[in-house]
């Protein structure tokens, strides 16, 4: 009997899985089920009184707590707003019966596993991190601002030791500078070499808003002269190019344009045929000639090494000697003659020197002139800005009615180009 009712086997409880496997928990389940049932239904009906089970319903909608009261619409809405949303109901436990297993499937995270001492230590900042944060803060505070000028950069430093004095060797100076935290810097001279042209060219007196008559006329004259120069050049160009081609006769235009078109096709064929016949004939003739004349001269004849005779050699030598003697005599004679030509030579030297001097001066002048002209820096040619002017009708004569003319920005841009600061760029259209 005992065996059949509860024969207890000893099961291994080694693994976690086997903990619940062969445990009899029926009584616990029953108990819990009873509890739930009781919760749902309350105590047994038989034990309850009538008053507990039944009530007299006097109002219509008693179950709705909101609708129950006579609320205004706004109040009702506010209440609805404050109510817990229905969607949260699913998250709540639906019984008041507590879960018998309190620690159900408790998995510790890495953080929870840690020892609290270790945690405290961790919360304290590392020295390295501290420095980092401080640095970041200092960067934020000391972040350079573009519009702040609070130092005098040209203030002369009180240098304790003059590194630039002439007593130091160059190497020593370098060494000393390096150890003092400074560096010897070589700045290219071009930084301080500037164009001879002024950055702002003084205005022509005729550009005044209320110019004197003569100044204004002078300005207009100057502009007119420049314009005339341009017109002249244009005319010259058209004369040299367009008009030259105009003069060419166009008699053979038709034949030139119709080249390759088969207008006289038959004729052309005939000529071709004739040509081919002639060629054949000439080749035949050549072959015949070769056959008839056997002694043909080669183009590069063999050289015969013919020796000179002794007499010939002697004569040659004599000739050579004589020639040399004559040459010597000639030189000697020239020397004597040159003495008489001394004055002439002197004049020649003076003349060449004079010419050289003249050329030198000219070159200097050209150089001075070139220094004022813009250099060729890029493939685009620099084109100077035209002088601004107003004609008499445009001049208002009072400050109030002056009209804008020209663009200052453009003028600045051109000025920079003229002073070789920027290379003239391509026009973007």
Partner 1 sequence: MANFGKKKYKAGEAVQFMTRKQALKKLQLSLNEFRRLSIIKGIYPREPRNRKRAQKGDTRIKILYHKKDIQFLMHEPIIWKLREHKIFARKIDRARAMKEFKEMRRYLKKYPIIKLDHIVKERYPTFIDALKDLDDCLTLCFLFSTFPSIKHVHRDHSALCRRLTVEFMHAIIAAKALRKVFISIKGYYYQAEIKGQTITWIVPHHFGFEPQSKCEVDFKLMSIFVEFYIIMLGFVNYRLYHTLNLFYPPKFGDTIFSEKSLVDEQAFVSERISALNIPLVNLNSSVQNEEDELEIDSFTNETDNTKIEEAKAERAKIKKLKTLFKGLKFFVNREVPRESIVFTIRCFGGDVSWDKLLFVGSTYDENDETITHQIVDRPSMEKQFISRYYIQPQWIFDSVNARELLPVEKYFMGCMLPPHLSPFSDTRHDQTYIPPEERALMDPEYKLNYNKDEEMETESEDEVESEENTEDEKKGEIEDEEDISEDEEEEDEDEDKVLVVKDNEKSTKSSAGGINEKERLNQKKKMKVKSGEITKEDPWEKSRQERQEYRLREKLVKNKHRKLYKSMIKGREDRAKAIWLLRKKRRIHDETEKAKKIELRKAKRNENKT
Name the site residues for partner 1 (rule: CB under 8 A). 143-147, 149-154, 185-188, 190-191, 198-200, 202-205, 207-213, 215, 375-379, 388-390, 397-400, 402-413, 416, 420-423, 425, 427-429
> Please, which residue, 82 or 403, has the CB nearer to partner 1?
403
> Please, which residue, 137 or 422, has the CB nearer to partner 1?
422
Min dist. Cβ of residue 257 to partner 1 (A)? 37
> Please, which residue, 286 or 422, has the CB nearer to partner 1?
422
Min dist. Cβ of residue 131 to partner 1 (A)? 19
> Please, which residue, 71 or 376, has the CB nearer to partner 1?
376
Min dist. Cβ of residue 332 to partner 1 (A)? 35
Q: How far apart are CA 229 and CA 296, in angstroms?
A: 73
> Please, which residue, 43 or 190, has the CB nearer to partner 1?
190
Looking up tokens 């005992």, which residue turns up?
2
C-alpha to C-alpha distances, 312 to 103, 161, 323, 326, nearest whole angstrom: 139, 93, 16, 21
Min dist. Cβ of residue 387 to partner 1 (A)? 10
Please say whether the beta carbons of 13 and 20 come within 8 A. Answer: no
Min dist. Cβ of residue 226 to partner 1 (A)? 18
Which residues, in sequence order, are CB contacts of 119 under 8 Å at separation 6+?
none
Q: How far apart are CA 362 and CA 368, in angstroms?
A: 10
CA-closest candidate to residue 29, choices 92, 94, 100: 100
Min dist. Cβ of residue 233 to partner 1 (A)? 23
**Can you tell me whether residue 11 is helix, strand or coil?**
coil
Min dist. Cβ of residue 231 to partner 1 (A)? 24
Min dist. Cβ of residue 215 to partner 1 (A)? 7
How many CA atoms, within 13 angstroms, populate the side-chain half-sphere of residue 71? Answer: 14
Q: How far apart are CA 245 and CA 229, in angstroms?
A: 24
> Please, which residue, 18 or 210, has the CB nearer to partner 1?
210
> Please, which residue, 254 or 376, has the CB nearer to partner 1?
376
Min dist. Cβ of residue 210 to partner 1 (A)? 4
CA-closest candidate to residue 184, choices 173, 169, 198, 197: 173
Min dist. Cβ of residue 324 to partner 1 (A)? 30
> Please, which residue, 274 or 383, has the CB nearer to partner 1?
383
> Please, which residue, 330 or 412, has the CB nearer to partner 1?
412
Q: How far apart are CA 116 and CA 122, in angstroms?
A: 10
| Longest CA span, the chain | 177
Q: How far apart are CA 346 and CA 353, in angstroms?
A: 11
> Please, which residue, 79 or 420, has the CB nearer to partner 1?
420
Q: How far apart are CA 359 and CA 372, in angstroms?
A: 20
Helix (H) or strand (E) holding 127: helix 127-141
CA dihedral 44, 49, 51, 57 (to 10 degrees): 40
Q: How far apart are CA 114 and CA 112, in angstroms?
A: 5
CA 390 to chain centre: 42
Which residues, in sequence order, are CB contacts of 394 under 8 Å at separation 6+?
403
Q: How far apart are CA 40 and CA 53, in angstroms?
A: 14
Q: In the structure encoding, which two tokens stand for residue 255, read together?
A: 């034949």
């Amino acid at each position: 009997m005992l065996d059949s009712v509860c024969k207890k086997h000893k099961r291994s409880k080694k693994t976690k899985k086997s903990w619940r496997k062969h445990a009899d928990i029926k009584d616990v389940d029953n108990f819990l089920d009873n509890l739930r049932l009781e919760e749902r239904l309350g105590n047994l009906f038989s034990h309850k009184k009538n008053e507990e089970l039944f009530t007299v319903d006097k109002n219509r909608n008693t179950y709705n707590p909101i609708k129950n009261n006579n609320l205004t619409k706004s109040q009702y809405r506010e209440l609805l707003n404050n109510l817990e949303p229905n969607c949260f109901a699913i998250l709540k436990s639906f019984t008041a019966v507590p879960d018998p297993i309190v620690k159900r499937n408790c998995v510790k995270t890495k953080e929870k596993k840690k020892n609290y001492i270790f945690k405290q230590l961790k919360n304290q900042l590392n020295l390295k991190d501290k420095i980092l944060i401080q640095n970041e803060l200092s960067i934020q505070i000391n972040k350079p601002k573009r519009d702040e000028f609070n130092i005098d950069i040209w203030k002369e430093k009180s240098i304790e030791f003059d590194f630039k004095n002439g007593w130091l060797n160059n190497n020593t100076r370098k060494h000393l500078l390096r150890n003092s935290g400074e560096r010897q810097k070589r700045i290219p001279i071009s930084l301080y070499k500037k164009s001879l042209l002024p950055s702002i060219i003084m205005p022509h007196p005729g550009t005044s808003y209320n110019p004197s008559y003569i100044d204004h006329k002078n300005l207009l004259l100057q502009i007119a002269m420049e314009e005339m120069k341009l017109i002249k050049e244009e005319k010259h160009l058209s004369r040299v190019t367009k008009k030259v081609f105009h003069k060419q006769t166009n008699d053979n235009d038709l034949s030139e344009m119709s080249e390759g078109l088969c207008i006289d096709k038959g004729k052309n064929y005939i000529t071709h045929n004739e040509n081919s016949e002639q060629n054949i004939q000439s080749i035949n003739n050549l072959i015949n000639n070769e056959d008839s004349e056997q002694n043909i001269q080669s183009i590069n004849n063999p050289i015969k090494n013919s020796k000179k005779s002794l007499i010939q050699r002697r004569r040659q030598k004599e000739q050579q000697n004589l020639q040399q003697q004559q040459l010597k005599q000639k030189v000697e004679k020239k020397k004597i003659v040159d003495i008489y030509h001394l004055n002439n030579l002197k004049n020649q030297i003076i003349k060449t020197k004079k010419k050289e001097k003249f050329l030198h001066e000219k070159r200097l002048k050209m150089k001075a002139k070139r220094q004022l002209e813009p250099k060729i820096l890029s493939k685009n040619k620099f084109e100077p800005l035209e002088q601004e002017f107003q004609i008499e009708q445009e001049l208002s004569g009072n400050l109030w009615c002056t009209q804008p003319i020209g663009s200052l920005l453009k003028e600045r841009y051109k000025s920079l180009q003229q002073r070789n600061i920027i290379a003239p760029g391509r026009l973007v259209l």
